[in-house]
């Protein structure tokens, strides 16, 4: 085998190994981010006044949002004040984690008020 070709194959192998290592590290980082989002989202979801029957009552969406936004379903909230045929976001730990409105119960608050758990 030509030495130039062998050198290029060796370099290619090193590049592939580096990419695989980065991919693994990126996957671990993503898992950690999602784990934190799920944890804090669960805290927010438990305390949120807008989480009703598995849907977020804060946001009222038109029916055409179903095909454009993931996790949107027809309203099933009892006594909802929205117009007929509207939709809501499904409540999940991840969607609640990124909600800018619902208050976040901080660790310090939890320690200061153990009865709120």
Q: Are 104 and 47 in contact (CB under 8 A)?
A: no
pTM of the model: 0.56
pLDDT per position as a tens digit, 40-85: 778 788 888 888 988 988 888 998 888 888 889 999 999 998 888 8
**Which tokens is 61 given?**
């969406």
**Which tokens is 101 given?**
């409105």
Helix (H/G/I), strand (E/B), else coil: 54:
coil
φ, ψ at 5 (rounded to 5°): -65, -40
What Å distances lie between residue 13 and 6, 16, 17, 35, 70, CA to CA? 11, 5, 6, 33, 39
């Amino acid at each position: 085998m030509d030495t130039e070709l062998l050198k290029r194959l060796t370099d290619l192998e090193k590049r592939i190994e580096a990419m695989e290592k980065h991919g693994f590290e990126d996957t671990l980082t993503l898992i950690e981010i999602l784990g934190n989002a799920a944890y804090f989202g669960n805290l927010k979801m438990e305390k949120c006044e807008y989480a009703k029957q598995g849907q977020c009552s804060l946001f009222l969406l038109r029916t055409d949002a179903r095909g454009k936004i993931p996790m949107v379903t027809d309203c099933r909230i009892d006594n909802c004040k929205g117009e007929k045929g509207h939709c809501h976001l499904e409540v999940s730990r991840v969607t609640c984690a990124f909600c800018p409105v619902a208050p976040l119960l901080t660790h310090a608050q939890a320690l200061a008020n153990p009865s709120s758990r």
